[in-house]
Structure 1
Amino acid sequence: MIRVVVVDDEALIRTGFTYILNTADDIEVVAAVTGGQAVHTVRELRPEVVLLDIRMPDVDGLTVLAELRRIPDPPVVAMLTTFNMDEYVATALHSGAAGFLLKDTDPEQLPHLVRALTDGGIVLSSKVTRTVVDGYLAGGRRDAAARIVEQLTERERRVLVLIAEGLSNTDIGSRMHLSTGTVKDHVSALLAKLEVSTRVQAALLAERAGLLCPPQEQEQREYGV
């Protein structure tokens, strides 16, 4: 079972996400709490995935994210919001968020997205992908990113491109004819070389380094699953 904690200040959102995710045979929402309860709940229940509201009145979602990232073997955290132009998106990704979802995401897609998060997939809402990329890369120098990417082996560079395309570990293994364990080893190695903590940060570094499709085509490409 994939154990999930939903963190949101609105009871309706907590109830709705819990109901939708619990319809899946392999997912269990073990708690649905407000921001002030989040860190204690996660420490106690040790879920694999946390869906975390980015804006809450009792405690800021970015503050909760920072505390969750300091937990040993932290859960995968995806940020939730009703805003598709949220100024906090880039900060959340810099801080280690593994994804970014709008609260009006198709309910049928939610279990699939949670599974993707646990398998290392990148989950960014298609409605905010361009904004996320532009915000995260603002002020970044493409040549500096390219020099960092040069540290990677050819296989690691290939893995990086597939990560940036939103593939999970399982999908990367199938594409490259590697075991999931081998893919995980490659991912760990390239994250260390790139000096980033999450796959999303690595993917956006690949974007900055020019490893992906040209800008005019990039408008049509979506991260995620």
Structure 2
Amino acid sequence: MSNPGETIRLAIVDDHRMLLGALTEWIRNAADDIEMVAAVATWPDLLSHPDFPVDVVLLDLDLKDNIPVSVKISALRGAGVKVVLMSTYSEPNMVREALASGALGYLVKTEDASMIAEAIRAAYAGESFVSAELDLALNANEIGGTPRLSAQERRVMALYGGGEPVKAVAYQLSISEETAKSYLKRIREKYRVAGIDVGTKVALRKRAIQDGILTPTDAPGVF
């Protein structure tokens, strides 16, 4: 996550101008730590922008320019830019290919706005972030196994499972209470798909200990 006082310089590339405008407006109004440097509709517009390179690029996977996404990711990484991809669909093989090419995040465009901001912050910190539904699709065959949690999801699970109320979890991680709740919802859904019920705080605590996210001494027995 970004440190207090740091500003993440962001560029968005999306040829759906209505979505581009909506995302730009939301980020400018709601995410004080993210500076919208560029909002462009094409790949060449990004590369030729006077303020490129930026810290993070939110890149539409569905740009109809016949340039392989792996080439774009490679070019951005070479410029020291972190990449978060957006798409209207969630085909697991495409997600795997994008992540293997070096993208740090992969979002569907129906993702909550707060989670888009979290994906940008995660990428800036060098952490991966995948939309909940995409992560579930990637791990659909892993029923009974331990779901893959992002670094921030593990932090939320550790704090909440350790006895902290949601408000305290949000405060300690410098996120909103609603974002903390969204993380808990994602965590519970991932475990549910894996066939593991962590619907209560006690169940979540026990699972956090079992999966090595918490030690028994970190998690008091009274909630």
TM-score of the pair, normalised by structure 2 = 0.57
Q: Whose radius of gyration is greater, 1 or 2?
A: 2
Residue pair 1:54, 1:60 contacting (<8 A) in 2 also: no
Residue pair 1:36, 1:59 contacting (<8 A) in 2 also: no
Shift of 1:112: 2.8
- Does 1:35 find its partner at 2:43? yes
**Paired position in structure 2 for 1:6:** 12
Shift of 1:101: 0.2
**Paired position in structure 1 for 2:76:** 68
Letter in 1 for 2:37: V
Q: What percent identity do the matched residue pairs reach?
A: 27
Residue pair 1:98, 1:122 contacting (<8 A) in 2 also: yes
Shift of 1:89: 1.4
Residue pair 1:84, 1:102 contacting (<8 A) in 2 also: yes
SS at match of 2:111: coil
Residue pair 1:39, 1:64 contacting (<8 A) in 2 also: no
- Give the Cα–Cα distance (whole angstroms) in 1 for the partners of residues 14 and 72 of structure 2: 11
**Paired position in structure 2 for 1:156:** none
- Give the Cα–Cα distance (whole angstroms) in 2 for the partners of residues 50 and 65 of structure 1: 10
**Paired position in structure 1 for 2:150:** 166
- Give the Cα–Cα distance (whole angstroms) in 2 for the partners of residues 51 and 111 of structure 1: 10
Residue pair 1:2, 1:27 contacting (<8 A) in 2 also: yes
The root-mean-square deviation of aligned C-alpha atoms, in Å, is 3.7
SS at match of 2:127: coil
**CA distances 1:109-137 after superposition (whole Å, capped 9, x unpaired):** 322332222223321011111333579x9
Residue pair 2:105, 2:130 contacting (<8 A) in 1 also: yes
Letter in 2 for 1:166: S
Of 120, 129, 132, which residue of structure 2 is paired with 1:123? 129
**CA distances 1:79-113 after superposition (whole Å, capped 9, x unpaired):** 10000226421111110000100111112332233
**Paired position in structure 1 for 2:88:** 82
Residue pair 1:7, 1:53 contacting (<8 A) in 2 also: yes
State the aligned residue count.
154
Shift of 1:70: 2.4
Residue pair 1:54, 1:81 contacting (<8 A) in 2 also: yes
**Paired position in structure 2 for 1:195:** none
- Give the Cα–Cα distance (whole angstroms) in 2 for the partners of residues 106 and 129 of structure 1: 15
1:112–1:94 distance in 2 versus 1, CA, 3 Å: closer
Moved more, 97-106 or 78-87: 78-87
Relative to its length, the structure with more helix (as a share) is 1
Letter in 1 for 2:58: L
Larger RCO: Structure 1 or Structure 2 (Cα < 8 Å, ≥ 6 residues apart)?
Answer: 1
Residue pair 1:52, 1:61 contacting (<8 A) in 2 also: no
- Give the Cα–Cα distance (whole angstroms) in 2 for the partners of residues 80 and 61 of structure 1: 15
Letter in 2 for 1:64: K
**Paired position in structure 2 for 1:114:** 120
**Paired position in structure 1 for 2:210:** none
Moved more, 123-132 or 84-93: 84-93
Moved more, 89-98 or 115-124: 115-124
Moved more, 28-37 or 125-134: 125-134
